[in-house]
Amino acid sequence: MSERGANKWLITITVILASVIELIDTSIVNVALPQMMGNLGATLDEIAWVVTGYVVANVIVIPMTGWFAAVLGRRNYFVGSLILFTVASFFCGHAGTLWELVIFRFIQGAGGGAMLSTSQAILVETFPPEELGLANGLFGLGVVVGPTVGPTLGGWITDSYSWRWIFYVNLPIGIVAVLMALAFLPDPKETRKISKIDWWGILLLITGIGSLQIVLERGEAEDWFSTRYITILAFVAVAGLALFVWRELASSNPVVDLHVLKDRSLAVGTFFTFILGFGLYASVFIFPVFAQNLLGFTAMQTGLILLPGSLATAVMMPFVGKMLQKGVPPQLMNALGFICFFLFTFMLSHSTLESGRQDFFWPLVWRGVGLGLLFVPLTTMALSNLRGKDIAQGAGLTNMMRQLGGSFGIALVTTFIQYRSWTHRTNLLSHLSIYDPALQERLQAITGGLMAKGSSFFQAQQQAYGAIEGAVLRQTYLLTYMDAFRVVGVFFLVCIPMLLLFKRRAGRSAGPVSMH
């Protein structure tokens, strides 16, 4: 299939619009959680399910999008998912209790998961083979910009209006996207033939992937396997996924056709997409937490700091797509992308408690350039050999692995930060002694200054000890975040030799005509 002229760009606008609102919603609620807690009377652990419910539904539905599109018709499924997402957004904003909000967030995530992979499959089929890199570059804009813009937009809406409006803003965009989808989206010429529903496959996928996602989302907060339900869910995830793989390989009508992974480019590309998700979400997670919790930036200020990096990605995506068309080896661009990510983490690992906005400009620009150099070539190589009916399946698998990579990345980085913070705190406290003259002098200076402002000796002394404790805590977290940046940077360097897993194909930068 190859759409020409204005229609091609109208289809592109439609699917990118759907992808962006879906991906913004993965992160937009994070900054509004404190206000939701107060409004709905929820604890921190309870309100976390607002995020977890959405992500769990998302990651369950994504690998099944190819199957749903074949059963319901891709255009019908895409439009239905948009309607489901938009209606659920309204009820999220209208929720009166915490668990009402969690339920509608789950439904919203189920609708959103469909929009992501289906959008990519539509774009890949809409553009001719020689423009496959450009198609993936345009799709990548939504994938990268969405999670970056989400916290900034959420912070502005929450500060200016109410947390409910972070859901209501989806309504006009969703309605426009539905109308455009009805007007411009065609059905594919080639689809999978489904003669029987694989109920066991669906059940095992929901059980395995759903359990795994809950373990990754909630594990660190629940102290991992010291909590019984996390241990049980971890066992269920391993058993469920093992049985799911066996079932899908044996079934004649699998809900997720794993046979497409026989294509080496897709298999290796899926693996690297997992790595990309790990790096993308882990780095997106570390920096805002570092900037807001340690340096005192607001959510809005942090979002503005991230903006130049997002613009760098937006510029790089189409550029990298054009370079692929001209025959530049994708492995070379991937290697440069990993180096850019390493530069980003290396530069940030030298931050101090006095670091300001200007200190983060170039590191985040390098990160933005790296994202463009990684996302477009990886996605293009992964999908380049697939024929029409397999494109949706391949897109579903790569998107699922990116989401899982992100969940693994955040879970591991969060656990690392917790572990290293205890280590650094212990080391710092071992160098503090009440008999140390320098410490005594510092305490006396703070106490004297507070007494001069009217505090009693007892109050001033307690506040002085609190100030020393605060200084130790800030230094502890600074050292911890710097360690986290270094570890993620080394991870990116280690990935470069693994690019040799991709086969070099002379004279080809895009998929064959048969895929369309």
Mean pLDDT of the chain: 77
Asked if residue 510 and residue 445 are part of one domain, the reply reads yes
* Res. 506 pLDDT band, cuts 50 70 90: very low
- My answer on whether 215 and 330 are in the same domain is no
Do 358 and 484 lie in a common domain?
A: yes
Confidence bin at 87 (pLDDT 50/70/90): very high
Cβ–Cβ under 8 Å, residues 201 and 244: yes
The SS3 call for residue 120 is helix
The pLDDT of 495-507, averaged and rounded, is 66
Rounded distance between C-alpha atoms, residue 321 and residue 93, angstroms: 38
Q: Does residue 314 share a domain with residue 274?
A: yes
Distances (CA, A) of 366 to 69, 345, 392: 38, 9, 32
CA distance linking residue 477 with residue 174, whole number of Å: 41
153 with 36, same domain: the answer is yes
Kindly report the CATH number assigned to the domain that includes residue 330.
1.20.1250.20
- DSSP letters, 395-423, are HHHHHHHHHHHHHHHHHHHHHHHHHHHHH
Query: How many angstroms separate the CA atoms of 204 and 511, rounded?
Result: 33
Per-residue model confidence as pLDDT tens digits over 455-496: 676 777 676 666 676 777 888 888 888 888 888 888 888 888
Do 89 and 213 have their domain in common?
no
* Domain of 84, in residue numbers: 1-192
> With contact defined as beta carbons under 8 Å apart, do 370 and 338 qualify?
yes
Look up residue 432 and give its DSSP letter: -
If asked whether residues 92 and 202 sit together in one domain, one would say no
Tell me, what's the pLDDT at 90? 92
* Whether residues 315 and 425 fall in one domain: yes
User: Is residue 248 domain-shared with residue 273, that is, in the same domain?
Assistant: no
pLDDT for 372 beyond 60: yes
Question: Is there a single domain that holds both residue 203 and residue 188?
Answer: no
User: What's residue 509's pLDDT?
Assistant: 41
Contact between 123 and 146 (Cβ < 8 Å): no
What pLDDT score was predicted for residue 91?
92
Domain boundary among 171, 192, 213: 192
Could you tell me what percent of the chain has a pLDDT over 70?
80
Average pLDDT over residues 254-276: 78
> What is the count of structural domains for the chain?
3
Task: Give me the mean pLDDT over the 285-305 stretch.
Answer: 75
For residues 373 and 419, membership in a common domain is answered with: yes
Based on the fold, state whether residues 246 and 288 are members of the same structural domain. no
For the beta carbon of residue 432, count every other beta carbon within 10 angstroms: 12
The pLDDT of residue 88 = 92
Dump pLDDT digits (tens) for 400-417: 787 778 777 777 877 888
Boundary residue ending a domain (141, 172, 192)? 192
The domain boundary, picked from 212, 234, 256, lies at: 256
